[in-house]
Amino acid sequence: MKKILIAASLALASMATLAQAWPTAKPITLVVPFPPGGSTDLIARMLASKLPEKLGAGNAIVDNKAGATGTIGASQVARAPADGYTLLVSSLGPFVIAPHLFKVPYDALKDLDPISIAVQAPNVLVVPTVSAHKTMADVIAYEKANPGKMTFASSGNGSSDHLTAELFWLQTGTSGIHVPYKGGGPVMTDLLGNQVDSSFMNINTALPQIQAGKLRALAITSEKRSPLLPSVPTMEESGIKGANVQSWQAIAGPKGLPADVKRKLNAAIVAALNDPAVKPKLLELGFEIVADTPEHFAAYQASEYARWGKLIASRHIKAD
């Protein structure tokens, strides 16, 4: 019995030492389940540059593990030790969409420990400036008169832009043609080339071309108008209820993070996102800072998981 007690005491002491040492033992790895250069990668690199400062110790690096619509990187984090050194920085896909489209090697609601939603941004319905559609009312009228003819491009089946189009058709009783691409770059190329009629693009992607006069924005999917596009009405202002959509990026760890580590990570992430060197840049790009608590993130993820699962099932959406 004495030996057992001594062993238990040593184990507890070792755990306490590790907890005190965090995050100095090794770098915190921010796993981004997408290629470099996208919005999620941008958020991760901004966080990596600020987390050590906000934590007062340690180092942080970004590791891009792309593939399978983000689920390869997500599953890597789900399998990692829950010690605070491996985190997932991802858009909503691996958290609430991909699990409804195909079998993934993790349970999105049970195998990841939510830390914070970093930012969110709405989608914008855009058309080429040469388009005859000047307003959302024009689009709805055209679709009702010509069902299944207007093309809506997206960055892939099950993407936020695709699901927004499906939600739009559902709520307006209209139909169009979904044209999936492998990423947002080809969508922009063909939209600017007038090869497709429209797209529910993320505001971050569409904004430069809107400002350059090459794309026309018809409606935005946020609850309120964006200060970056104050003349663009919301979907609700355009008479479309229940079609508010936010694309978001969030941070999670493997399930079972120590409570003090998760608390410190959340505080550091919130501070980093609100840092004067970071926040203005994000706002300028069209992001809204969320920086919420683990509890709010968990509740929001559950709500989004149910919402998109219901839409995917009702619209019979399949993966690529």
For the chain, domain boundaries? 26-120+247-314, 121-220
Residue 203 to residues 45, 120, 138, 143: CA-CA distances in angstroms?
20, 10, 21, 23
Question: Is residue 35 over pLDDT 90?
Answer: no
% of the chain residues with pLDDT over 90: 85
- In the numeric block, which tokens belong to residue 1? 């019995």
Task: Give the domain 26-120+247-314 fold.
Answer: D-Maltodextrin-Binding Protein; domain 2 (3.40.190)
The pLDDT score that the predictor gives to residue 69 is 87
Token output for 26: 């090794």
What CATH superfamily is the domain 121-220?
Periplasmic binding protein-like II (3.40.190.10)
- Over residues 102-137, the pLDDT tens digits come to 999 999 999 999 999 999 999 999 999 999 999 999
Tell me the β-bridge partners of 246: 122
At 19, the pLDDT band (50, 70, 90 cuts) reads very low
Work out the mean pLDDT of the chain and round it to a whole number.
93
The phi, psi pair for 100, rounded to 5°, reads -90, -15
Contacts within 8 Å (CB) and 24+ apart, 1-10: none
pLDDT score for 77? 98
pLDDT single digits (tens) 257-282 = 999 999 999 999 999 999 999 999 99
How far is Cα of residue 53 from the mean position of the Cα atoms in its chain?
25
**Residue 320 — pLDDT band, cuts 50, 70, 90?**
low
Structure token digits, residue 220:
């935005």
Domains 26-120+247-314 and 121-220 share a fold: yes
pLDDT tens for each residue of 167-209: 999 999 999 999 998 888 899 999 999 999 999 999 999 999 9
Number of Cβ within 10 Å of residue 297's Cβ equals 23
Other CB atoms within a 10 A radius of the CB of residue 220 amount to 26
76 contacts 65 by C-beta, under 8 angstroms: yes
- Going by pLDDT thresholds of 50, 70 and 90, the confidence category of residue 63 is very high
* Average of per-residue pLDDT across 5-18: 47
| pLDDT computed for residue 184 by the predictor | 85
d(CA 144, CA 124): 21
Tell me the pLDDT tens digit for each residue of 289-309: 999 999 999 999 999 999 999
pLDDT at residue number 16: 47
pLDDT tier at 79, thresholds 50, 70, 90: very high
